[in-house]
Structure 1
Amino acid sequence: MSHIQVQDDQGVRIISFNRPDKRNAFDLNMYKQLTEYLIEGEADNDIRAFMLYGKNNCFTSGNDIADFLKNSDLGPNHPAVRFLFCLLELKKPLVAAVSGAAVGIGTTVLLHCDLVYADSTAKFQLPFVNLALVPEAGASLLLPELVGYQKAAELLLLGESFNAQTAHRLNMINEIVADEELFSYAYRRQKKLANQPPQALQITRQLMRPHKTAYNTKCIKNLEQFSARLKSDEAKSRFQAFLKK
């Protein structure tokens, strides 16, 4: 069974993470499928918007570390790298519905979304430094722009988890929704986006994202440092301790 599931409904492409035994942790095959579904949706005129959703009351617990350690060369064809740059190139709007854990990539991907909704169980974390790594996906640029330098430093350097109320206060999510209504509420908002005039919507998104070149440059720098840290003795020690847990 595929750990990435897709459903197209009335102009909305719903992409779901479903790997319950690993708390929806992303392995490289999941990254590959995510990228393929996004690229296919971009080329399909019937798809007007994307929605990301984690099943089993968990958005994603982050990267599958064991899988990453076996594939640590983060070149341009690495599935995770292709996914990150696919996010930067998306023209159609992206919405996320977050329940439970949103760790690592589970939080950084939200910085690339247009709308983010969460329920009361949502827990966010950016534990890169905890694992002797550096942030990914341009988070070192996007997060300070969104929440301010001091708060971004707290979230990235200490790597502590924070709840939906804190994420909402920091403008990282649009709204906290009742647990049982999260999916349907996010879907209704996504469907409303899908019914907007597509060209005007896409151009407006582009106008709100004027620093694309800077984002690309920062992503490349992040990946270079991430790759180097992934192979460091410091990180290997942290990974061994993490995997033993």
Structure 2
Amino acid sequence: MSDHIQTSLADGVLTVTLARPDKKNAITQAMYAVLAEATNRARTDDAVRVLLFRSEGDSFSAGNDIADFIAIGSAGGGQVTDAPVFQFLQSLAKLDKPAVAAVRGRAVGIGLTLLLHCDLVVVAENALLSVPFVNLALAPEAASSLLLPAVIGHQRAFEMFALGEAIDGPTAVAWGLANRCVPAEQVDAIAAELALKVASRAPNSIRKTKRLMRDAEALWTLMLSEGEAFGSQMSSPEAMEAFMAFSQKRQPDFSKAG
């Protein structure tokens, strides 16, 4: 278990809170295990009608905990798809109940790709969303190689992947990544309001609607393919250089990579 993930259920809404604000809600493998449990509960518990993701502090999530990933990449041996992060990704692929996200501050990597599995997203005006996988010499995950281009178009998605530059809240709405863009202090309240509205709708109708809008098996199959690419990159000299550069707060040097 992890104290950095908090859950509560009220009025049909299961709220999952990223609660590691001192680390910008960077997600560890222990946190992924709890996130997977909560997401699977949302799918299987009849008392849950909507899953709401939110965070404490000034960031939604800084993405994967780099120290965790350095340790996994250095260890070698196992498959990256055996890690708790993939338990969480599988739970997202299978989720057939509505998910809502409340996003303040930075949403990096999985902090953004998680949103592609949410049905209603509220972002702060000053939110900054990015997927800097290539900056870390990695590859897309969470079926984002399909879902991000489907939402914002190939050219925009490639630019976000390849350059790793962030977009703000208004751009996220304009590009279709979010439903609402509001002042930061209103994000949680508006996301909770939307979650309650959805929870009041006919649950079986909502569930069947979501199932028709997505192919869970295809998403999971793609996640496994992404995982192979991600895993091979994670143990590569490119990624080790990128991780070290990140830790040392310098630009990586890929001049010898080929």
| Alignment deviations for residues 116-165 of structure 1 (CA, whole Å, 9 cap, x no partner) | 00111210011000111111111111111111111111111111111111
Match of residue 94, structure 1, among 91, 99, 113: 99
Which of 80, 83, 89 is residue 78 of structure 1 equivalent to?
Answer: 83
- Alpha-carbon deviation of 1:75? 4.3
- State the TM-score, normalizing by the size of structure 2: 0.91
Asked whether the 8 Å contact 1:74–1:81 carries over to 2, the reply is no
* Alpha-carbon distance in structure 1 between the residues aligned to 2:32 and 2:227: 15
Aligned residues: 244
Task: Tell me, yes or no, if the aligned pair for 1:136 and 1:222 is still in contact at 8 Å.
Answer: yes
Q: TM-score, normalised by structure 1?
A: 0.96
**Counterpart in 1 of 2:70?**
69
State the superposition RMSD in angstroms: 1.3
Residue by residue over 1:186-219, the C-alpha shift from the partner in whole angstroms, topping out at 9 and shown as x without a partner, is: 101001111111111000001111x433322221
Q: Secondary structure at the match of 2:82?
A: coil
Give the partner amino acid of 1:48: R
- Contiguous gaps of at least 5 residues in structure 2: 250-258
What is the CA-CA distance between 1:41 and the residue it aligns to?
Answer: 2.7
**Residue matched to 2:231:** 227
Give the 5 Å matches for 1:11-26: 11-26=12-27
Q: Provide Cα deviations, 1:23-60, integer angstroms capped at 9, x if missing partner.
A: 10000000001111122232221111100001112100
- In structure 1, runs of 5+ residues without a counterpart are none
Shift of residue 68, structure 1, vs aligned partner: 1.9
> Within 1, Cα distance between the matches of 2:80 and 2:160?
27
What is the alpha-carbon distance in structure 1 between the residues aligned to residue 178 and residue 201 of structure 2? Answer: 21
Q: How does 1:137-216 map to 2 (within 5 A)?
A: 137-209=142-214, 211-216=215-220
Residue 236 of structure 1 corresponds to 240
Q: Distance in 2 between matches of 1:243 and 1:74?
A: 24
Cα gap change, 1:181 to 1:104, in 2 (>3 Å): same
- 1:76 positional shift: 4.1
